[in-house]
Each structure stands twice: as structure tokens, then as C-alpha cells.
Structure 1
Amino acid sequence: MFAGIGGTCLGFKQAGAEIVWANEMDKNACITYRENFGDDYLQEGDITQIDKKTIPELDILIAGFPCQAFSVAGHRKGFEDDRGNVFFQVIDVIEAQKEKPKAIMLENVKNLVGHDKGNTFKVIKKALEDQGYTIKYKVLNSMEYGNVPQNRERIYVVGFLDSKKAEAFEFPQSIPLTNNLNSIVDRVSKLEDKYYYTEASKYYEMLQESMTSYDTTYQLRRVYVRENKSNVCPTLTANMGTGGHNVPLILDHNNRIRKLTPKECLQLQGFPEDYRLPENMANSHLYKQSGNSVTVPVIRRIATNIIKVLDEEKNVQDELIEVQHA
């Protein structure tokens, strides 16, 4: 659910899962999704308008439901916001299945836990527990759990119908960050002019004075320039699609100042180099899509642990069959 351009689907596929159904309502995100996954199972449209009984049987239900209702950057209206209420579509999908999914995974902004003094998350957790799920959750930072140089904290909620499986499930451990910015960002090549700030920009002089490092990224904040000195990219946001000033900036080795490209943004989300961007799609849509997406390696590591727990039951059954045949 809320598949976007398929970051979560990709992470689960890399972990060995087969995707049988996906839903997204943003038409441009659907174009990018189909470019990479085809059109066999993507159902484009508003989830509130979809007949949940038409959704195929699922072992694992995944949902990165819209986070604007809970984001620190938003108005934080929570369930008073229609986008917050979309969470309950997850419950509707679960209830429409002949057999409830064995496991679920939800992804959202870190602030979900603290929103409305914790009441919002209590409602979400109780709704899932009322469906029979035992819940675990943890906030993971992409640069600590995905080996990508982006400072991105998200909460991941995992649930199992079988409480013993929930007990057996563990979130992945943190791993060293070995990928640095310059393994992704091209500071040598000359790219299209549209990515560069020139002397014609009213911000150029301020940027030129502030940007001195070839290892970090910068952010233009209208009246000042902020350097991210930790040698990672700041959290990529959907707002990158609303104007160039929201896109992180870099200084290349020829002292040119430019924005990150959409491709670089996707790679900072852990998408592989061969992930395709549709030709002739406006950069504003591509920036929005990368900011709305997930960090693929983090998803893959969580998915691997979910599948491992679910497959233990299958392995036991296979062993019983072998013993019976013997």
C-alpha cells in the first residue's frame, strides 16, 4: 500500500519476496514504478476507492502510509487530517483478506511515536493488536542501518499474527557507514546547466562565500547557508520538488555550485544505479518521488528478518514431511 516508486517493493524483492499487488495514487509515481516493475500488479488509484475484496491473498502486508499528518514539518493534526485517517485503510485491507496476512510492516516518520503525546501511536498500535498482531517497533537511521550517507530517521513497525514469531523477530543491528557522499556524488563531471547556480542568481555570492568543502553537502535557507558537516546528506524531503532551494547543494572540484541530481538523490536512498527514471518527466516530480521514498537497504534488511521468521515454519513443515516419507 502507498507504493510510491517502489522502494519498499524493491527492498522486499531483494530479500526474496514476490510482490503480488501494489497500490499508488500519484500518477507520476506510477509511471516511474511501471518503468521498473512493469504493469502486472500495480493498481493505480485512491485506496479509499478500491474494493478491498479484489486484493489478492497476502502473506505480508506493507504500508508506508502518508506521513504528512504526523511530520514535525507539517501541522501535526494527526487523525484530524484526512491523510492521517488513511491509516485505517490498512485495517480495512487486513479485514478484507480471507486469511489475515501473517506479518505486516509499516513505515513512517520518527515523530509518529511522539505525536499528540503518544496518543496517535497508541491508536495505531491498538488497532493492529485488535486484529491479532503482536507489534514491535524501532526508529532506524539510514546512515546507521542502511550504509547510505543520508541522515534519515524513520519508524518501522513490524507485526506478526503468531506471537512466537514476533518474539523471534529482531530488527537488524547497526552497521558501519562505509559509503561516503563522494562515492555517490559526482564532483568532477560537468552536468546540465539547470543544476548550477551562476552569478546571475541572487544567492550566488552568499553560496560562494559559504561553500568551501568538497566532502559535504549544503542547504540554502534563504538568508543563510547551512553545511552538513557530518559528511552525509540531510534528510531528503518531498519538498525538494517544490523548488530548487530545497535540494541539497554541493561544491564540485571545479568550484561550481550545483544541486544534487534526481539520480543522486535516489542513490542516497539506496536505489541501485540501474533503477530507471522515466524520460521527459519533470525534475520536480522526480525530486518529490525520491524524497517521498524509503531507504531500500534498510527495508531489505528488515524484510530479510521478517521472511526468515516466517520461513522457519515452512522449514519445520518440510522436515516433518521428509520424516513422514522416511
Structure 2
Amino acid sequence: MVKQWERGCGRISPTKQRAIENLPDTIPFKDDRKKGSFQFIDLFAGIGGIRIPFQKFGGKCVFTAEIDKHSKVTYAANFGEVPQRNGDITKFTASEIPDHDVLLAGFPCQAFSQAGRKQGFLDTRGTMFFEIQRILAAHHPKAFLLENVKQLKGHNGGDTLKTIMAILRGEASAEIPSDVMMSEEARASLGTHFDYDVDFEVLRARDFGVPQIRERIYIVGIRRDKGAPANHERIKEMFGRIIENYQLKVPLKDILVDDPERTRDFTISDNLWTGHKERKERNRANGKGFGYSLFDRTSEYCSTMSARYYKDGSEILIDQSDLGRNPRKLLPEEARALQGFPEEFVIDRVGRSQLYKQFGNSVAVPVIRAIASEMLREANIRTRKT
């Protein structure tokens, strides 16, 4: 009906007209500043989980890339921006991307994840790293942050990560077969020599104030001063400060909604619950540990929420035996809190399945906040005083 009203199609009653006009139109993270304390770009942005802390520290996002149409709806609802050219980073030359101080990218993880085919650079999604490389080669920002699944560390016996690190550290170029899909500009930039101090760390979200395991690999690079020798150890020391100074434990009960009426509609069906139990029993008989995971208000934390959560919720089911009900899936607002997104983050512009998928693909915001704080300081990037 809102779409009909926007287009001026059909007749709408005065009552509904008033209801539409009274709908909230706040865009909570819209940034109308012409310039920030520093400029950054948000690549493979998802719904903006990496952007939020860097914007909070005073950064101005000057370019966004995200290709998923549903994620773009949620992104636009919260930031008031829609990526150009369908959000496809391969459609932009490096010169068309504005100058920036910081590059942020949660580049596609399916090529490296346990749930994917683990094809790495042979997968088109895996070559998206080289789209990042060509932008770094052209703009040479002061710092960058890349995020991916923990499995990247062990993919192809560790060789994939070694290749990525060698390229980012300026130690080697990559030999990528000609039949691997990649933009011409990305292929031409493969031999570019970088002068970044770079290192990585696998961090758990549950150590930073959200009650889920969620282990992810974070790669940070900071540009060296001209003529300065390589010092990758300073990035390792930076991660050490993050682990030492930003840890916070939050129990699962702190993000669960205690409202039997509100949670009723999220209770799984008898058929689904029976299927979960039978599948777990079969797996146990076959010596496999796969199956549903059940949690309650006494649990310290839960499993990692994945992009497939919308299908059956098996990795995080909340026990309701005290109510005489089957277990339930997380509420949308619980999924938001589980990833550490602010309460004002808009979550009602897409359907429930898409929302679960978006949060399952996103980052834990408190982890990014901790990294941003130390990374910007280490790179001597001026931030907003808060």
C-alpha cells in the first residue's frame, strides 16, 4: 500500500493516508556531513556491520559496494544510501572510486567456508580478493581491514592465506590461471608491490560482548612511512592489545526476549522438531556430531549463527520446555543483538528469512569496534572525540 501511495496509483482512504504519513521515516545512521575526520570505503558491505564503528569514530563513507538486492534494502534503510551500478565492484575502475584513508571489506567467504565448496581462488567469489588488491594498488590508503571465515586460515593447506599475506606485504605476486574469472584491471595489478605492515588474527565474538562463538579471521594492514623497514610485528602487537583490553563476556540470557506471547510464533513445528531429533540420532549412530543445538537462559553462549539459519534454525534453538512448547528460533531482534548491532538498527524492511540470512552473513559489531579503535590509533588516523 505504501508503494501504491508513493506511485500515486489507486485511491487510498483518508485514514490510511494519515497512517502512512505517520510512519517513522528515520534513517538512524545517515551521515549528512560533507567530510569526516577520515574517509573510508565499504566493500562487500552486506548490511553495514563493519561500517557502523568506523562511522562512529568519525569516518565518512565515500563509496559502498554490495550486490545482494535484499541486503541493499536493509543498508539503505539504515544509511540512506544505495550502491551504484547494482553494487557490483567489478563494474567500477579504480579511478572511479573516491580517494580514501581506510579500505574495509568483508570479502565473500563461501569460497573458503566449511559450508561452501572450498574452492578458494578457483571460485569466482574467491577472486574478489583481487578486486580489493587492485583498489589498494591504485589508492594506497593508510590502512585496511579485511574479514573472512576462520577456514581461510587452513584452506588449501594454508597456501591460500600465505598467498594473500605475501601479496599484501609486498613479498610476492600471485600466479593465477588465465581461465580464472577476474577483471582486466585486477589481473593487471597482480604484480603491484605494496608497503604495508600486515598480520592477521582469529578472534571469537563471544570474547567481545556478544554471546555466540563466531570465530572469524581479521587481516589488518597499515601503510609504512616512506623508507621505513617492514614491521609486521606491530600489527601482531596491536591484536594483542585488542585481546587484552577489549574482552567482555555477556551471557545468552541478556539478549533473549522473555515474553511467551512474543515468542509463540517462532516455535518450530512438531514435524520439524521430530526431524531434528531423528537426524541427530542418525548422525550420532554414524559417529558424526552434526545436529541441532539447544540452548536456554542458563547458557553462557550459543553456536555461531550462519546464513542458513532461516532454513530450520538448527544451530541455535531456544528451549521452551518450561512453557510446554517445542524449541523456538531466535526473534529478529535477538538475532540483531546476537551480532551486537545497535537497537536502533532497522530490521523490518525485508522478510524474516532474508533478515536471518543477512545477520548470519554479517559481522559481530563489537569485534569490529575493538579493531577499529586500535587500528586507527596505530595508523595515526584522526578520529572524532566521543
Indicate whether the TM-score tops 0.5: yes
- Distance across 2 between alignment mates of 1:49 and 1:43: 7
SS state at 1:31 partner = helix
Match of 2:114 in 1: 72
The one of the two structures with greater contact order (alpha-carbon pairs below 8 A, sep at least 6) is: 1
For residue 201 of structure 2, what is the amino acid of its counterpart?
K
Structure of greater Rg? 2
- Distance across 2 between alignment mates of 1:16 and 1:269: 22
- Displacement of 1:51 after TM fit? 2.5
- Distance across 2 between alignment mates of 1:247 and 1:225: 5
Match of 1:105 in 2: 145
- Distance across 2 between alignment mates of 1:138 and 1:42: 32
Change (3 A) 1:26 1:249: same
Contact 1:134/1:161, CA 8 A, preserved across alignment:
yes
SS state at 2:59 partner = coil
- Distance across 1 between alignment mates of 2:257 and 2:209: 19
Matched, 1:294 2:363: yes
- Distance across 1 between alignment mates of 2:291 and 2:217: 31
Candidates 333, 337, 346, aligned match of 1:267: 337
Unaligned runs of 5+ in 2: 1-42, 171-193, 281-287
- Distance across 1 between alignment mates of 2:159 and 2:276: 44
Matched, 1:277 2:347: yes
Match of 1:123 in 2: 163
SS state at 1:278 partner = coil
| Number of residue-to-residue matches in the alignment | 296
- Distance across 1 between alignment mates of 2:315 and 2:293: 12
Match of 1:188 in 2: 259
SS state at 1:272 partner = coil
- Displacement of 1:265 after TM fit? 1.1
SS state at 1:311 partner = coil
For 1:78-127, what per-residue CA distance to the aligned partner results, in whole angstroms no more than 9, with x for missing partners? 11111111110001111232xx1011111111111111111101111122
Matched, 1:96 2:159: no
Matched, 1:227 2:294: yes
- Distance across 2 between alignment mates of 1:310 and 1:182: 38
Match of 2:96 in 1: 54
Contact 2:72/2:83, CA 8 A, preserved across alignment:
no
- Distance across 2 between alignment mates of 1:2 and 1:187: 35
For residue 76 of structure 1, what is the amino acid of its counterpart?
K
Contact 2:63/2:97, CA 8 A, preserved across alignment:
yes
- Displacement of 1:247 after TM fit? 5.7
SS state at 2:50 partner = helix
Contact 2:169/2:197, CA 8 A, preserved across alignment:
yes
- Displacement of 1:162 after TM fit? 0.9
Match of 1:147 in 2: 209
Change (3 A) 1:255 1:311: farther
Change (3 A) 1:118 1:167: closer
For residue 290 of structure 1, what is the amino acid of its counterpart?
F
Contact 1:197/1:204, CA 8 A, preserved across alignment:
no
Instruction: Please identify runs of 4+ aligned residues in structure 1 that moved more than 6 A.
Output: 40-43
- Distance across 2 between alignment mates of 1:298 and 1:71: 20
Match of 1:310 in 2: 379
For residue 204 of structure 2, what is the amino acid of its counterpart?
N
Question: Please, which moves more after superposition, 113-122 or 190-199?
Answer: 190-199
- Distance across 2 between alignment mates of 1:283 and 1:34: 17
Percent of residue pairs bearing the same amino acid type: 38
Change (3 A) 1:198 1:73: closer
Change (3 A) 1:202 1:95: closer
Question: Please, which moves more after superposition, 2-11 or 231-240?
Answer: 231-240
Unaligned runs of 5+ in 1: 211-220, 316-326
- Displacement of 1:11 after TM fit? 2.1
Matched, 1:133 2:196: yes
Candidates 207, 212, 221, aligned match of 1:159: 221
Change (3 A) 1:133 1:113: same
Change (3 A) 1:261 1:181: same
- Displacement of 1:179 after TM fit? 1.7
For residue 273 of structure 1, what is the amino acid of its counterpart?
E
SS state at 1:83 partner = helix
For residue 81 of structure 1, what is the amino acid of its counterpart?
D
- Distance across 2 between alignment mates of 1:69 and 1:230: 32
Change (3 A) 1:250 1:155: same
Match of 2:28 in 1: none
SS state at 1:13 partner = helix
Change (3 A) 1:4 1:158: same
